[in-house]
Structure 1
Amino acid sequence: MLAFLRTQLQELLEQRAALKTELDGVLAKPAEEKRALTDDEDKAFAEKRDAVKAKDADIETVRARIDELEEGEARDAKAAELRAKYQPAGPQPTGITVVSEPETYRKGGKASYFRDLYRSQHMGDRTAMERLQRNDAEVSAGLEKRALTTTDGSAGEFVPPLWMIDDYVALARAGRVVADQVQHQPLPPGTDTISLPRVASGTATAEQGTQNSPVQNTDATTSSVSASVATIAGQQVVPQQLIDQSPINMDQILLADLAADYATKLDTFVISNNAANKRGLLNVSGLNAITYTDATPTVGEAYSKVGDGIQQIHTGRLLPPDKIFMHPRRWAWYTVSLDTQGRPLVVPAANMPANVLAAMSDVVSEGFVGTLQGLPVYVDPNIPVNLGAGTNEDRIIVARSNDVILFEGTPRSETFRETKADQLSVLLRFYNYAALHSERYPKSLSVVSGTGLIAPVF
């Protein structure tokens, strides 16, 4: 809460400085001309002066709350110091053994994160503030053990509780297959664009013509690629009565649902987004485009197109691809296809298959399903199936996934009463920031497209 209030105070001070500049601007011309204010100038001066006074009142309110919280922290620190100073040496029998302390906000618990967030922000409830601060410490400790980060957050009480982060990870793994298979890095704070340098053209060597003759001299050139930070957000209006009176904590329902939808939207962003500096994998400029045109497509023909995509990454990137992504319906088409003798072309890996086109692993709706041409295959229902002239085509993506970087922060939530006060409702807001670097190495991506990938017939 202190971090939030200090940030709020800084914003108020900057707003006051801007108002003071405008106030001085009203007086500048009369002072230069050594004359009294005109009626219009006097009116403008009064408006600016009142605005500055109102801002001073806001600043004083926030400053007083900061002083109160800082005083409380100082008292707590002093009490801890005295306790340590006068603690008797050696372990003291208490008759109580602490095995573990439950999380502040947990599934099935009585404390409601949304309710405390609302009461701390709009009612100044100190007990709610304390629970939120404990939650902040719990989340920070828990996130040290996983890939997510609160680096770009400025206020701990805006970070959802630890159980929600756990569910977010679980839901994300199920709902954002492609997004979770590329390289991940924490989103840096304080930026709206992430630029990475790259070598545009390299140096060169050549055989020396004769002894003492000049050797090859070619200068390398550099450029950069940029990824803009995108905001993915959602909101939910909740009746005030539900927050105050409901025996069920709506955190579990609303946060889980928002997290699940966020996972889907982020995955779609990684796959299909088509905006400058935010290109999804399907829209990267300069990727290896493989066209499969066929009125009566077969798995055998599609097999060769995937092989073409693999060799083009070998040729253009000079490093191997490591993953294949396709829609579940495309993988199902593979698994039901038969050879001329009526034998399946794709069989379970557990059967120790020989001379098969591909091998199945787990039967799942999304995620890892097997191998094709030596590469793991992941199915993702967020890969579109409405592409092409007939709006009935899907795509197969072959990728060197480590060349694609997804920068992602930690989801945050807030409550607002003012915008819905006339109907006794509270607006809950959930959001996160992400940036995608998909165009560092366009030749790391191959996309198979065309009429050969229309909706399969089973």
Structure 2
Amino acid sequence: MTLAELIAQARTALDTAIANRTQEQDALVALRSDENLTEDAVRAQVERRDAADAEVTRRQQALEELEAEQAREDELAALQARTTPAVTRAPAYDRVARVGAEERTYRPDEDRRGARFERDVAAAFLGDYEARDRLARHMAEERTERGEQLQRAAGTGAFSGLVVPQYLTDLYAPAAAAKRPFADACRHHDLPAQGMTVNLSRITTPTNADLQASENTAVAEQDIDDTLMTINVQTNAGQQTLSRQAIERGTGVEPVVMDDLFRRYSSRLDATLLNQATNGLTNVATAVAYTDTTPTVAEMYPKILEGLSGVESALLDMASGENIAVMHSRRWYWMQNAMSNTWPLVSQPGIAAQMSGTNLGTTYGSGVRGTLPNGTPVIVDNNIATNLGAGTNEDEVYLVDRNECHLWEDPNAPMFIRAEQPKLASLGVLLVVYGYFAYTHARYAQARKIGGTGLVAPTFTGV
């Protein structure tokens, strides 16, 4: 491998490290915007960000060392070119007669399709000094033979087949993702380092207390008993195989692919917490039916209060009071479209008179989007299904105590594997993103969901 190729490889590694560091910083900013963040979570994310920062510094130093080495090689080559043996100097180029012509750098008879020229353009962009020299020599030859043509007032449009396109890699458009708004609102725990299950004890038969019938008579007694709750650890993973040509000859290919894998990882985790069979929120929540052929926001809102009442009734003294409403963005905007001349009779904390809630104006995935008329925070999550019901056009609204939506994640998740050996025979590089997690919304049967024909695809009519 040449020194130029090593430099190109080092630049690719630096780009990857910078992309990873940017992702960790974005995650830290998102975490700090969460009203329910913990000091331990912030400290752990800062450590991950600092580790990524250190990797950027290491990659930068490696690249600078290679570039310094290349600069020294170029300096020695230039020095050698200026040094001549101590013999009679040959006549200058323009002082001798020449017969015939020197060979051109790029010859049509050897390279009819211009492939060598195109390869040198790409290599020069990646820092190949030999390719740059060949291109400079080619331009000198063109000025000598076709100087008048090159100096004519012709724009790039006259040479559409020769002008190399430039790609704005810093403005590439990643595929949009729903990511993990609900998962970020759940109560987080570090996943234990070992084992494929998480076991919790649930007290299902409590003790008893009652009034004593009379003095010296037995008091109430009931034997306490628990039931073991077993939660499976699951693996979330995705992979992508890239050709070495794409990585080594492309610009920013590997960081772009890694960013997309991380987006898919987040979206799949969140969708699992909401929609997974048996354990997903939609399958453990108690239904609150809203059946209406002409639904309005004013008619749906009492169903929200009914659901919140059910949450508190299930938790009693175990309620944390940190209730949230989780809904699809189409439902959130539908609720905002309602206009009314009626107002709640009971004022609520943080909600001014004659207001039916507040919109905080935050962007998707940034945490709480607003509050309902009774002050319940709203989380908007587009991983919520919109194909429910008999007409396959309904969504659901979930009402939960966020501290009873438990999510265990590996502190280092998602993790990244870059493997070259498995795909070596086909010059491929395998990129894998994976992580372990466990979750439950069923430590208490507290979750409620509003569903039914009243939640079909909304029409924005102002009611």
Distance between the aligned counterparts of 1:380 and 1:288, measured in 2? Answer: 19
Q: Do residues 215 (structure 1) and 225 (structure 2) align?
A: no
Per-residue deviation, 1:113 = 6.9
Indicate conservation of the 8 Å contact 1:164/1:256, yes or no: no
SS at match of 1:282: helix
Partner of 2:206: 202
Please give the alpha-carbon distance, in whole angstroms, between the structure 2 residues aligned to 1:188 and 1:405: 14
Give percent identity, aligned residues only: 32
Matched, 1:455 2:457: yes
Structure 1 residue 339 corresponds to structure 2 residue 337: no
Q: Which residue number in structure 2 is paired with residue 62 of structure 1?
A: none
Q: Are 1:226 and 2:230 matched, yes or no?
A: yes
Larger gyration radius, structure 1 or structure 2: 2
Runs of 4+ in 1 over 6 A off after TM superposition: 113-116, 171-174
Equivalent positions of 1:355-374 (< 5 A) are 355-366=354-365, 367-372=367-372, 373-374=374-375
How has the CA–CA distance of structure 1 residues 174 and 394 changed in structure 2, closer, same or farther, with 3 Å as cutoff? closer
1:240 partnered with 2:244? yes
1:340 CA displacement: 5.5
Structure 1 residue aligned with 2:263, among 260, 264, 276?
Answer: 260
User: CA–CA distance in 2 between the matches of 1:188 and 1:150?
Assistant: 21
The residue that corresponds to 1:282 in the other structure is: 282
| Residue identity in the other structure for 2:330 | R
Structure 2 partner of 1:412: 415
1:435/1:150 CA distance change after superposition, 3 Å: farther
Task: Give the match for residue 182 of structure 2.
Answer: 178
Q: Which amino acid aligns with 1:196?
A: L
CA displacement, residues 256-302 of structure 1 (integer Å, 9 cap, x when unaligned)? 11111111111101111114xxx121111xx3320111111111111
SS in 2 for 1:112: helix
| 1:295-323 alpha-carbon deviations (Å, 9 max, x no partner) | 11111111000000011112121124521
8 A Cα contact 1:114 1:243, kept in partner? no
Confirm or deny that 1:190 pairs with 2:194. Answer: yes
Distance 2:426 2:11 in 1: 27
In 2, Cα distance between equivalents of 1:192 and 1:395: 31
1:432 alignment partner, one of 428, 432, 435: 435
Following superposition, the deviation at residue 162 of structure 1 comes to 5.4
Task: Provide the residue aligned with 1:112 in structure 2.
Answer: 13
Using structure 2 for the length normalisation, give the TM-score: 0.59
What count of residue pairs does the alignment treat as equivalent?
Answer: 300
- Matched residue type, 1:371: T
- Measure how far apart 1:405 and its partner are: 1.1
Q: In the TM superposition, what is the alpha-carbon distance from 1:371 to its structure 2 partner? A: 0.8
Q: 1:203 to 1:150 in 2, by over 3 A?
A: farther
Gaps spanning 5+ residues in structure 1: where? 1-108, 117-142, 166-170, 344-348
Whether contact under 8 Å (1:208, 1:215) holds in the other structure is yes
Q: Write the mapping of 1:40-119 to structure 2, written as runs, cut at 5 A.
A: 110=11, 112=13
Residue 305 of structure 1 pairs with residue 306 of structure 2 = no
User: Is the 8 Å Cα contact of residues 233 and 431 (structure 1) preserved in structure 2?
Assistant: yes
- Cα RMSD of the aligned pairs, angstroms, is 3.5
Which stretch of structure 1 is more off in the superposition, 380-389 or 312-321?
Answer: 312-321
1:146 maps to 2:38? no
Which residue number corresponds to residue 326 of structure 1? 327
Q: Distance in 2 between matches of 1:451 and 1:244?
A: 54
CA contact (8 A) 1:225 1:439 kept: no
Question: Judging changes above 3 Å, is the alpha-carbon distance between structure 1 residues 113 and 265 closer, same or farther for their aligned structure 2 residues?
Answer: farther
1: CA distance, partners of 2:232 / 2:407? 11
State the alpha-carbon separation in 2 of the partners of residues 413 and 214 from structure 1.
63
Asked if 1:384 corresponds to 2:385, the answer is yes
Q: Is the 8 A contact 2:15 2:255 kept in 1?
A: no
- TM, length-normalised to structure 1: 0.59
Unaligned 5+ runs, structure 2: 1-9, 18-38, 57-174, 344-348
- 2:178 and 2:383 in contact (8 A); partners too: no
Instruction: Name the SS for the 1:110 alignment partner.
Output: helix
Q: Counterpart of 1:395 in structure 2: which amino acid? A: E
Instruction: Note if contact 2:247-2:254 (Cα within 8 Å) is conserved in structure 1.
Output: no
Label 1:269 to 1:310 Cα distance change in 2 as closer, same or farther (>3 A).
Answer: same
Per-residue deviation at 1:175? 2.3
Say which SS state the counterpart of residue 423 (structure 2) adopts: helix
Q: 1:163 to 1:370 in 2, by over 3 A?
A: farther
Contact 2:368 2:379 survives alignment (8 Å): yes
